[in-house]
C-alpha cells in the first residue's frame, strides 16, 4: 500500500511539472507576437485561410483586369499589423487603374509605387479575374478558396499555442497552386 502511495506521488509530481512547463510555453507563446495573414469571408467572418507571416513578408494579389483582359499585380509587404502597398504593375490602362498617379514603365509594364497602408484589404475574387494570393513563396487560388465571395485580408497576432492548436484541430482546403504557376515575381 505504501508503494502505491509513493507511485501516485511520483505520477502527480510528474504531471504537475509537465503542466507547469506547458503553461510556461503557452505564456511565452502568447506574448511572442507571431503573426498570420488571415483570409476571412466578409459576410460570415469565417476564416478561410491562415498563413504565418513576419515583418517583410511579401504579399501579392494577381488578377486579370476584367475589361482590358491584362495582368495586374498588387504588391504588399507585412509591416507590423498592417499591409503596406509597395507596388502596382499593370500591362494596360483600364477602369480602376491609376490614371493620374506617377506611373513609369518597367519591363513592358506600367508601374505605380503607392504610399498606402491598411490593417485590412477587402477583395472580391472573380472567375474572370482569376484572383491569386501570394504570401512569400506560396500561391493560393482565392476564387476556389472563397467561391467568389468577398474576403477580408488582415494581419493578426497569434500565440504559438493558438497556431499549434489550430494546426492540430483543422486541415484547410487545398487551394494552393503548384510553384510553377508563378507568372511573375515581386521586386
* Structural contact between residues 56 and 78, judged by C-beta atoms closer than 8 angstroms: yes
pLDDT over 70 (residue 42): yes
- Predicted confidence band of residue 85 (pLDDT cuts 50, 70, 90): very high
Pairing label, strands 71-79, 132-135: unpaired
* Structural contact between residues 37 and 142, judged by C-beta atoms closer than 8 angstroms: no
Query: Domain-by-domain residue ranges, the chain?
Result: 1-31, 34-181
Residue 105 or residue 44, greater confidence? 44
The DSSP symbol for 80 reads T
Q: Give the Cα separation of 118 and 78 in Å (integer).
A: 10
* Structural contact between residues 38 and 156, judged by C-beta atoms closer than 8 angstroms: yes
* Structural contact between residues 106 and 186, judged by C-beta atoms closer than 8 angstroms: no
The string of DSSP letters for 15-62 reads: HHHHHHHHHHHHHHHHTS-EEEEEEEETTT--EEEEEEE-TT-EEEEE
Give me the pLDDT at residue 99, please.
67
Q: Which of 78, 100, 103, 99 is nearest to 89 (CA)?
A: 103
Q: Starting at the earlier edge strand, list the strands of the sheet with 120-123.
A: 47-53, 34-41, 151-158, 120-123
- Predicted confidence band of residue 70 (pLDDT cuts 50, 70, 90): confident
pLDDT digits (tens, 9 = 90+) for 106-140: 888 888 888 889 999 999 999 999 999 999 999 99
pTM of the model: 0.69
pLDDT over 80 (residue 148): yes
* Integer CA distances (angstroms), 60 to 11, 105, 122, 136, in order: 52, 19, 13, 9
pLDDT over 50 (residue 181): no
Amino acid at each position: 500500500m505504501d508503494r502505491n502511495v509513493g507511485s501516485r506521488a511520483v505520477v502527480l509530481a510528474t504531471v504537475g511539472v509537465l503542466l507547469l512547463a506547458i503553461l510556461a510555453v503557452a505564456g511565452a507563446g502568447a506574448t511572442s507576437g507571431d503573426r498570420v495573414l488571415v483570409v476571412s469571408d466578409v459576410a460570415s467572418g469565417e476564416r478561410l485561410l491562415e498563413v504565418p507571416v513576419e515583418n517583410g513578408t511579401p504579399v501579392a494579389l494577381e488578377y486579370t483586369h476584367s475589361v482590358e483582359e491584362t495582368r495586374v499585380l498588387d504588391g504588399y509587404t507585412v509591416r507590423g499589423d498592417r499591409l503596406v502597398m509597395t507596388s502596382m504593375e499593370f500591362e494596360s490602362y483600364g477602369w480602376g487603374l491609376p490614371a493620374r498617379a506617377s506611373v513609369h514603365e518597367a519591363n513592358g509594364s506600367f508601374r505605380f509605387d503607392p504610399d498606402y497602408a491598411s490593417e485590412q484589404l477587402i477583395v472580391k475574387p472573380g472567375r474572370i479575374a482569376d484572383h491569386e494570393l501570394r504570401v512569400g513563396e506560396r500561391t493560393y487560388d482565392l476564387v476556389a478558396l472563397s467561391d467568389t465571395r468577398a474576403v477580408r485580408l488582415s494581419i493578426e497576432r497569434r500565440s504559438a499555442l493558438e497556431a499549434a492548436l489550430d494546426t492540430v484541430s483543422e486541415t484547410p482546403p487545398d487551394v494552393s497552386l503548384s510553384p510553377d504557376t508563378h507568372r511573375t515575381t515581386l521586386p
